[in-house]
Amino acid sequence: MTYNQLYETILAKKSYLCVGLDTDLSKIPPHLLKTEDPIFEFNKAIIDATAPFCVAYKPNTAFYECYGVKGWVSLSKTIDYLNKNYPNHFTIADAKRGDIGNTSSMYAKAFFEEMNFDSVTIAPYMGEDSVKPFLGFKGKWAILLALTSNAGSKDFQELQIENQIEKLYERTLKTAQNWGNHENLMFVTGATKAQEFTNIRKIAPKNFLLVPGVGAQGGSLADVSKFGMNDHCGLLVNSSRAIIYASNNVDFAKIAGEEAKKVQKEMAIYL
């Protein structure tokens, strides 16, 4: 998917919502546990119910890997279902990968070719050769961690570097601009750090920002939108738990759809 295609989808749907498919067997409705692949059944129902209100889906690979081969099968079926039935939705493998160059190429192959995701999240610690292999695929995106939404983000990301001229996360944003551009590179910037978004936009004015942390983690959609939006929207705001676990009764998908719709309606105001 290109930058302009993503922007057009956002305009058409009046939404920049990404639904996080962090599917956990201990949290999904009990009646699904009797099916052959409860994770996939849950995802399918959530996707069908929320698709009108969101522009992207983001399964976090940890929630699939923890079930071994079976979980990997559920993830595969989920991305296949999305690509077949919702080809205009942007797909994100939230995998936070990164390794030396030749090994990162294998991860790129895994997520862009073997599974055909539109994008994958990447950890920056290993530097240029760990990120670049994700930038050479037409229509595919690397989404680099910059300033994350969790408490631990203060440990390294907010450290002052080189005579206090900037924080590490700012250097990450700047350095990565030399590796890619707004058409193949996005950044993860947590909603819990809305006060930093003005600053982030000075360094990365055009790039899309993937923003987790709205909902269960406490970030404000209003603040993120006010300080983070650019002239092509430039935001994909993720919500996982607050939408997908809004109910764990038989009507869970309907309720999830209603929650997604609420968020979409708020987004329509900000757009």
Question: Which residues contact its own copies by CB under 8 A?
Answer: 22, 24, 60, 62-63, 65-69, 71-73, 76, 94, 96-101, 103-104, 106-107, 109-110, 113-115, 123-131, 145, 148-157, 159-164, 168, 171-172, 175
In whole angstroms, the minimum distance from the beta carbon of 158 to its own copies comes to: 9
CA pair distance 71, 61, nearest whole angstrom: 9
96 catalytic per annotation = yes
CA pair distance 124, 251, nearest whole angstrom: 40
User: Taking a C-beta distance cutoff of 8 angstroms, is the pair 97, 115 a contact?
Assistant: no
Question: Which residue is it, tokens 């570097």?
Answer: 161
Q: Residue 101 contacts by C-beta under 8 Å, 6 or more apart in sequence?
A: 129, 130, 132, 133
Question: Which residue is it, tokens 């907010």?
Answer: 158
In whole angstroms, the minimum distance from the beta carbon of 105 to its own copies comes to: 8
Among candidates 150, 142, 144, 268, which has minimal Cα distance to 212?
A: 150
Query: Which C-beta is closer to its own copies: that of 9 or that of 104?
Result: 104
> If DSSP codes are grouped into helix, strand and coil, which group holds residue 238?
strand
In whole angstroms, the minimum distance from the beta carbon of 99 to its own copies comes to: 6
In whole angstroms, the minimum distance from the beta carbon of 131 to its own copies comes to: 8
Continuous H helices in 59-189: 62-65, 68-85, 101-108, 128-131, 153-156, 168-177
In whole angstroms, the minimum distance from the beta carbon of 70 to its own copies comes to: 9
- Amino acid code (one letter) for 112: F
CB atoms within 10 A of CB 14: 15
User: Taking a C-beta distance cutoff of 8 angstroms, is the pair 141, 118 a contact?
Assistant: yes
Query: Which C-beta is closer to its own copies: that of 10 or that of 145?
Result: 145
Backbone dihedral angles phi then psi of residue 225, each to the nearest 5 degrees: -70, -40
Query: Which C-beta is closer to its own copies: that of 20 or that of 234?
Result: 20
For the chain, what's the residue count? 271
Query: Which C-beta is closer to its own copies: that of 49 or that of 237?
Result: 237
- The catalytically annotated residue of 77, 96, 254, 262 is 96
In whole angstroms, the minimum distance from the beta carbon of 262 to its own copies comes to: 24
User: Taking a C-beta distance cutoff of 8 angstroms, is the pair 254, 52 a contact?
Assistant: no
Query: Which C-beta is closer to its own copies: that of 11 or that of 126?
Result: 126
Query: Which C-beta is closer to its own copies: that of 37 or that of 266?
Result: 37
> For the CA atoms of the chain, what is the radius of gyration?
18
Annotated catalytic residues are 96
